[in-house]
Chain A
Amino acid sequence: MTPTRLLQWFDQKGWKAYDFQRACWEAVLRGESGLLCAPTGFGKTYALYLPLLLQLLERGHTLSKGQLRLIWITPLRALTADLEKAMREAAASLGLSIRIETRTGDTDAGTKLRQRQALPEVLLTTPESLNLLLSRPGWETQIENLSMVVVDEWHELLGNKRGVLIELALAILKHKISHLQLWGISATIGNIEEALAVLHGNLNQKHVLIQSNEQKQLKIETLIPEAIEHFPWAGHLGLKMLDQLLPLLQNAKTTLIFTNTRGQAEIWYQRLLEREPALAGLIAIHHGSLDQEIRAWVEASLHAGKLKAVVCTSSLDLGVDFRPVEQVIQIGSPKGVARFMQRAGRSGHQPGALSTIYLAPTHALELLESAALKSAIEAGEFESREPIVLAYDVLLQFMMTLACGGGFSPDELFVVIKSSFAYQEIERQEFDWCVNFLLHGGKSLEAYDEYKKAGLIQGKVLPANKSVALRHRMSIGTIVGDTNLIIEFINGTRLGQIEEYFISSLKPGDHFWFAGRALEFVRIREMKVQVRKSAAPQGKVPSWMGGRMPLSSQLSAYMREKCDMASQGLLEGVEMASLEGLLERQAKVSAIPARDELLIEYVQSSEGYHLFVFPFEGRLVHEGMAALFAYRISKYRAISFSIAMNDYGFELLSDQEIAMEESLIRELCSTANLRDDILQSLNATEMARRQFGEICRVAGLVFQGYPGAPIRTKHLKASSHLLFDVFYTYDPQNLLMKQALDQALQLQLDESRMRLALMRIQSQKIILRFIERPTPFCFPIMADRLREKMSSESLADKLKKMVEAAVAD
C-alpha cells in the first residue's frame, strides 16, 4: 500500500506534507510501530491517523462494520473534542463512513451504554477509561479487530503512574493481538529514545523513532518590573505585574495567561476584573477543578475567538488547538524548559506561525531564573522524564481490573507483566505477593479473618462479590487528590470540585472565591458543598494541595552559572542587568557564590537561630539535604528544628545556637553513610508517609466514597496517615511500604541527585557569613510558612523549655 492517495488528498486541500508525515504514513502502512516526536501545530494527528483511514478504505470491503480498529489515548479529556472533530472531517472527506467517538469520565450514560453493546471503529479515550474497558467481562471480544493504538502526548504520561497504567494495558492488548501496531506521539524531551523503549516494552518487535526537523519560531520576552527597586524579594502571586501586563492584552486577539496553581488562577482572574471592569465577559478562567461544563464552555469560546484572555493552569498545557491564541503570558517561573516550551507552543498553533511568550516574575530572584531559562532554551536542554518502575500499587489495581473483567490466570499474567518496561525486573515472588494480597489481604491465616476482595476459581482470580467490583470500577485511575467535594448552587448547578480540607475551614455564611465568582458557603449535603452567590467583595481563595514543581536540574545548573557570572560582576541580558541593585546588596551584606563556592548564611532573630544553605539544586534535593543536616546535627545533641526550603536553598531554624564552623559543615555534607542517615532521619519516614497516601488510593486501600451512598461507607474511611501507622507497626514488610520508601528516596528526595550535589559541595569552598538581617537570597525562604520539623528532644524537655519561655514572657 502506498500513501499516494493521502498525498492527493493533501494536494486537494492545498497542503504540503511534511517529511515526518510521509515517514509515518509509510511506516504505518508497512505495519510498523514506533514513536513520533514533532512540535505541536504541525499535524501530528494526520501523520498517524490518515494511514489507518487508508487501510480501512482499501481493506474496507473485507471487514465487517462496527468494530473497534483504533484506540487513540490522550492524557486530558479536554483534548478529545477537537480530535474527534478533526478525525470525523478527515474520514468524511475521504469518503469513509465510520463511527468516531469519545469515551471518558464525562461521556453521558446513554452513549456509554451504546458503546458497551458495540464500540465505534475509532475510540478516543483516556488511560483510566481504557482500563475501565478492561474491567468489564467480554472486553476480549470487543477488541478482536483492533489494529492500532496511539498514545498521544506520551511525554505527559511517561514519568507518572498513568504511564504505567498505559504500559500494563498495552502489554495485555499486545498479548491478545499479536500484530497490533502501537504508536506514541511525544513533544521533545531529554530522553526520547527511552520514551520509545518504555512505550514498547521489551518484546522484540521492530519499532521506529520518527523525529521531525520542523522548528517552531519562538519569541520570549521577560517582563522587567518597572519599579524594580520596590519589587518584592518573596512571593508567588506576581500581582505587582498586573498593571504592566494589562496593556499586553491589546496586542493579541486572544491571550492565555498561565499560572502555576489553581489558587493563583482564581486570584488573578479576580484582580484582572477588579482593575479593568471592561474585561467582564471577555475573560474567563480554566483549571482542573472546575466543572466539565464550565471548562467546555471556556474551550468553545476560545475556539470561537470570543475571549480576549483566559487565566489558566496546566489544564490547558496540552495540545488543544486554539487558533485565536496569539500570545501566552507565564506568571511565575515555569521551573522547567520542557514545560515552558509546551506553554509557549499554545500560541501561534498553525504550522510556521510565531509563538510569543511573556514571562512575568513573581519575585526578584525569578528574574535570575528567567535568565537561566533563556540560556537553557538556547542550548536546547530539555528535561528527561524518568519512567516509573515496579509500582506495586498500579500492578495491584491492574490485577483487580482484570479480575473484574472476566478474571486472569496468574501464570499467564506474569508473562504479560514481564513484557512491559515497568515490570521487566519483577520477581515471581513479588508478583505472587501481589496476587496473594488480593486473595488473602496480606499474610493472614487467622481463623477469624473475613477478608473479601478476590477469590481463585478454576485457576482464575475473580472478584469476591459484586460490590467489591463496583467499588473497584469507581476508583480506577491514578490521578488522585484529597477527598474532593462537588461544589454546586442550591438549585443543583455544578461549579466544580474542591478539596475537603478547605471546606472544613469554612463556617456557613463564610464567603470564598471559586470559578471566578464570589460565593457564600451554605452547607454540606451528601458529599456536595452547597453555595449561593455572594455580593461580598472579600473572601478566601481555596488553596489546592500540590502544584509546587521543583526547579529542574537543567535549570538549576544554569542558575548556578548565572550566579557565578554575577559574582564576577558580569550581568548579561536585561534580566540580570535589572537585578544589579539587588545583587550588589547581596554581595555587600553577604556574598554571591561563584561556581566553586557554597554560600551559607547564619542569622539570629527573635524566632531563634537561622541557618541558610544555598546549593541551588531545586526544592526536592534541598528538602532531603535539610533533613540530613538536621539529623546529623541532632546526633550530637538533643535539638529541634523547623525546616523550610525553596529552589535556591534551605533553612534550619532552631531555638538553640549551633556552633558553625567549616569542619562541621564538611561533616554534614559527607556522602559517607548517606543512605543510612537518610533512612534514619525522621524525614525519610515522613516522606514515605506522604507517598503512602497516593499508593493507598491507587492500590485500593482507601475508598473515596460516592455521592448519595448509604451511610455505612463512612465506616470505611480512614486517613492514609492512620493506615501508614498501622502498616508501619504491624506489617512493615508489606511491598506497598517498601514502595513508599523507594518512592520517597527516588521521586521525592531524588537520592541520586542529592548524592551528586553533596559530591559537588565537597569540592567547593565554603563561604560562611554571619549576617545581621535577611539578605535577598535568604528572605524568600524565611518567609515560607510551610514547614517540616525534625527533633531529637523528648517531650518533657520541650515542655520544660516552653514553660520557661512562657514564664519569661
Chain B
Amino acid sequence: MQGQLEFHWGGNHWVLDASGACYLPDYKSLIISDFHVGKVQHFRKHGIAIPIAAARANLTKLEWVIARYNPKRLIFLGDLFHSDVNTEFELLQQVRTVHPSLEMLLVPGNHDLYSLQSQAGLFSLTPLQYHLGGMVFQHLPPDGEVVKPTIHGHWHPAYSLYAKARQKTRLACFAFSANVGVMPAFGLFTGKADLPEKPKWQHIFLLSKEGIQHLPPVLLR
C-alpha cells in the first residue's frame, strides 16, 4: 500500500493522498476539505482542555503536504475554520508567510460563515461554486441535477468494511460516483460519519495508517 494513488475522473488526472488531500497536477492545485482550524483553541477558550499540541500537529500536517506537492494553488473546500476567529489562525498565517507566492483560495463552507470577514488578506474567497478544469468545487453536496462533475466536502465520510467471521473496519475515504466526488476531512481533530449509500459510488479510496487503498470494485455495496 502507498501514500498516494493516481486516478482519472471528470476528464482530469488526480493524485489522491493518504493524508486526505488531493492534487490536480495539470493545474498545480492542492485541495483540502474540512480542515477545521481553530477547533482546539475554540474548545480551550471555553474551558475544555484539548491538548494544545493537537493544534500545532494539524498545521504541521498541512505544511507536510504542501512540501510534498509544492502546489501553485491551495484550495480549501470549505470548513477551513471551526468557529469564531481565534489565535490558532496565527499558525495559518505562518504558513502564508513561508509560502508567499502560494495562491490560497477558500470555497466557503457552513462553519466559515462566522469568521470570514476578518480574514481578508490570508486567502481569496471564491463564490459558493468554484470552477476548475471543467469541474465544480463546492463545500456542500449538490442538490438537484448535476451538470458538470462536482467535488464536495462537508460529510467527513467513512466507509465500513465487513469481512467473514463478523469483522468490521471503519475508515475515512474518498468516494466517487459518475459525476460527484466527496473528500474526507483533512483536520486531525474532526469526527467521521458514514458515507451515504447514494449516489451510486463507483470508486472508493480508503485511508488508513498503512496508506491509501482503492477498494476493489467487487467489494462495493
Check B166 against A807 for contact (C-beta < 8 Å): no
* Contacting pair B166 A444 (CB below 8 A): no
Establish whether residues B1 and A795, one from each chain, have CB atoms under 8 Å apart when the complex forms.
Answer: yes
Q: Mark A765-809, 1 if CB is under 8 A from B, else 0.
A: 000000000000000000000010101001110110111011100
Report the stretch among B51-59, B64-72, B117-125 that lies at the interface: B51-59
Cβ proximity bits B143-158 to A, threshold 8 Å, 1 near / 0 not = 0000000000000000
Q: Would you give the shortest CB distance from B143 to chain A, in whole angstroms?
A: 19
Contact A791 B167 (CB under 8 A): yes
Q: Are B50 and A726 in contact (CB under 8 A)?
A: yes
Contact of B52 among A444, A716, A791 (CB under 8 A): A444
Q: Does residue A727 face the partner (Cβ distance < 8 Å to B)?
A: yes
> CB of B44 within 8 A of chain A?
yes
Is A608 an interface position by the 8 A CB rule? yes
CB <8 Å contact, A451 and B191: no
Encode A582-617 as 1/0 by CB contact (under 8 A) with B.
000000000000000000000000011100000000
Say yes or no for A202: interface residue by CB 8 A criterion.
no
**Contact of B164 (CB < 8 Å), options: A441, A655, A702, A729:** A655
Cβ-defined contact, A640 with B167, below 8 A:
yes
The answer to whether the Cβ of B8 comes within 8 Å of any Cβ in the partner chain is: no
**Contact code string B65-106 (vs A, CB < 8 Å = 1, else 0):** 000000000000000001110111011000000000000000
Q: How far is the CA of A798 from the CA of B160 in the complex (A)?
A: 13
Question: CB distance A731 to B46 under 8 Å?
Answer: no
In the complex, A547→B91 CA distance in Å? 46
Given contacts A642-B166, A716-B42, A722-B189, contact A437 B49 (CB under 8 A): yes
Select one of A450, A472, A700, A796 contacting B1, CB under 8 A.
Answer: A796
Instruction: Report the nearest A residue to B83, measured CB to CB.
Output: A715
Question: Judging by beta carbons under 8 Å apart, are B87 and A449 in contact?
Answer: yes
**A747 vs B86: C-alpha distance in the bound complex, in angstroms?**
40
Chain A residues with CB under 8 A of B91: 448
With contacts A716-B46, A726-B50, A730-B51 taken as known, whether A801 is within 8 angstroms of B163 at the C-beta atoms is yes
**Residue in B39, B42, B46, B164 whose CB lies within 8 Å of A468:** B46
B219 touches A806 (CB 8 A): yes
For A471, list chain B residues within 8 Å (CB).
46-47
Task: Write out the residue numbers on chain B whose beta carbons fall within 8 Å of the beta carbon of A722.
Answer: 189-191
Question: Known contacts being A448-B87, A716-B42, A731-B53, is A726 close to B189, with CB within 8 Å?
Answer: yes
How far, in Å, is A469 (CB) from chain B's closest CB?
10
Q: A802 to B49, Cβ gap below 8 A?
A: no
Mark the stretch among B27-35, B127-135, B175-183, B208-216 that contacts chain A: B208-216
Contact with B along A455-471 (1 / 0, CB 8 A): 00000000010011001
Output the residue of B45, B54, B83, B166 with the most chain A CB within 10 A: B166
A726 B48 Cβ-Cβ under 8 A:
no
| Interface 0/1 of B198-221, CB less than 8 Å to A | 000000001010100101101100
Contact status B51-A734, CB under 8 Å: yes
Q: In the bound complex, do residue A795 and residue B210 qualify as a contact, i.e. CB atoms below 8 Å apart?
A: yes
Q: CB distance B51 to A607 under 8 Å? A: no
B213 partner, pick from A448, A608, A731, A796, beta carbons under 8 A: A796
Question: How far, in Å, is A500 (CB) from chain B's closest CB?
Answer: 14
Kindly report which residue of chain A lies nearest to residue B216, judged by CB atoms: A803
Asked if B41 is at the interface of the complex by the 8 Å CB criterion, the answer is: yes
**Which residues of chain A have C-beta atoms less than 8 A from B87's C-beta?**
448-450
Using a CB-CB cutoff of 8 Å, which residues 696-747 of chain A contact chain B? 700-703, 712, 715-716, 718-719, 722-723, 726-727, 729-731, 734
- Taking CB atoms, residues of chain A closer than 8 Å to B111 are 715
Asked whether, in the complex, the Cβ of B52 is within 8 Å of the Cβ of A715, the reply is no
Residue of A nearest to B84 (CB): A712
Q: Is the CB of B189 within 8 A of A718?
A: yes
Assess whether A718 is in contact with B219, with CB atoms less than 8 Å apart: no
Q: What residue of chain B has the Cβ atom nearest to residue A396's Cβ?
A: B49
B191 touches A452 (CB 8 A): no
Is A448 in contact with B88, judged by CB distance below 8 angstroms? yes
Q: Roughly how many angstroms separate A449 CA and B42 CA in the complex, as a whole number?
A: 10
Q: A468 to nearest B CB, angstroms?
A: 5
With A607-B165, A653-B165 already in contact, the answer to whether A441 and B52 are too (CB < 8 A) is yes
Q: Which residues of B contact A716 (CB under 8 A)?
A: 42-43, 46, 48
- Residue A718 contacts which of B166, B191, B210 (CB distance < 8 angstroms)? B191
Write out the residue numbers on chain A whose beta carbons fall within 8 Å of the beta carbon of B45.
450-452
A449 and B82 contacting across the interface, CB-CB below 8 Å = no
Question: Are A727 and B82 closer than 8 Å at their CB atoms?
Answer: no
**From A444, A450, A655, A701, contact of B163 by CB (8 A):** A655
Chain B residues in 8 Å Cβ range of A789: 167-168
Report yes or no: B169 in contact with A703, Cβ–Cβ below 8 A: no
Q: Tell me the minimal C-beta distance from B92 to chain A in angstroms.
A: 11
Asked whether, in the complex, the Cβ of B49 is within 8 Å of the Cβ of A719, the reply is no
Number of interface residues of A (CB under 8 A): 57
Q: How far is it, in angstroms, between the C-alpha of A807 and the C-alpha of B218 when the chains are bound?
A: 8
Measured between C-beta atoms, what is the minimum distance from B149 to chain A in Å? 27
> Do B165 and A700 touch across chains, with their CB atoms under 8 A apart?
no
In the bound complex, do residue B191 and residue A719 qualify as a contact, i.e. CB atoms below 8 Å apart?
A: yes
Query: How far apart are the CA atoms of A681 and B165 in the complex, in Å?
Result: 19
Cβ–Cβ < 8 Å partners of A791 in chain B: 167
**B44 x A450 contact (CB < 8 A):** yes
Q: Which residues of B contact A609 (CB under 8 A)?
A: 165
Contact status B48-A802, CB under 8 Å? no
Query: Please, which residue of chain B has its CB at the minimum distance from the CB of A721?
Result: B191
Cβ B210 vs Cβ A446 within 8 A: no
A370 to chain B, nearest CB (A): 31
Q: In the complex the two chains form, what is the Cα distance from A275 to B157 in whole Å?
A: 46
A21 within 8 A of partner (CB): no
> What 0/1 pattern do residues 366 to 386 of A give for CB contact below 8 A with B?
000000000000000000000
Q: For A718, what are the chain B residues with a Cβ–Cβ distance below 8 Å?
A: 43, 50, 189, 191
| Contact A449 B218, beta carbon cutoff 8 Å | no
Assuming A608-B164, A640-B165, is B210 touching A796 (CB within 8 A)?
Answer: yes
From B214, which residue of chain A is reached at the shortest CB distance?
A799
B163 and A452 within 8 A (CB) = no
Chain B CB within 10 Å, residue with most, of A449, A719, A801, A805: A449
Contacts of A802 in B (CB 8 A): 161, 163-164, 216, 219
Give every chain A residue within 8 A of B41 (Cβ-Cβ): 448-450
Alpha-carbon distance A798/B208, docked complex (angstroms): 13
CB pair B48 A730 closer than 8 Å = no
Task: Say yes or no: is A442 at the interface (Cβ < 8 Å to chain B).
Answer: yes
Chain A residues, CB < 8 A from B188? 726
A641 within 8 A of B: yes
Q: Is A323 an interface residue (CB 8 A)?
A: no
B115 to chain A, nearest CB (A): 11
Whether the pair B50, A723 counts as a contact (CB closer than 8 A) is yes
Residues of B within 8 A of A453 (CB): 47-49
Given contact pairs A450-B41, A730-B57, A795 touches B169 in the complex (Cβ within 8 A): yes
A452 to chain B: which residues have CB within 8 Å? Answer: 44-47
What B residues does A795 contact at CB under 8 A? 1, 169, 171, 206, 208, 210, 213
Interface pair A798/B169, CB less than 8 Å apart: yes
Q: Complex: how many Å from CA A716 to CA B213?
A: 33
Question: Which residue of chain A lies nearest to B220 when distances are taken between CB atoms in the complex?
Answer: A806
Chain A residues with CB under 8 Å of B49's CB are 437, 441-442, 451, 453, 701
- Residue in chain A with minimal CB distance to B82: A715
Q: Least Cβ distance of A696 to chain B in Å?
A: 9
Taking CB as reference atom, which chain B residue is nearest A713? Answer: B46
Across-interface contacts of A607 in B (CB, < 8 A): 164-166
The minimal Cβ–Cβ distance linking A737 to chain B, given in whole angstroms, is: 10
Contact B165 A641 (CB under 8 A): yes
B47 in complex: contacting residue of A444, A464, A798, A805, CB < 8 Å: A464
Instruction: Choose one: A448, A467, A700, A798; the contact of B48 (CB below 8 Å).
Output: A700
Task: Identify 19 new A-B residue pairs, CB closer than 8 A, beyond the known A655-B165, A726-B50.
Answer: A441-B50, A442-B49, A442-B52, A449-B87, A450-B44, A467-B46, A471-B47, A640-B167, A642-B167, A653-B166, A701-B49, A702-B48, A715-B42, A715-B82, A716-B42, A718-B50, A730-B57, A799-B219, A802-B219
Show 7 residue pairs from A and B whose CB-CB distance is below 8 angstroms, ordered by the A residue. A441-B47, A468-B47, A471-B47, A640-B163, A653-B166, A731-B53, A801-B163
What 4 A-B pairs have minimum CB-CB distances, sorted nearest first?
A441-B49, A453-B47, A731-B51, A448-B87
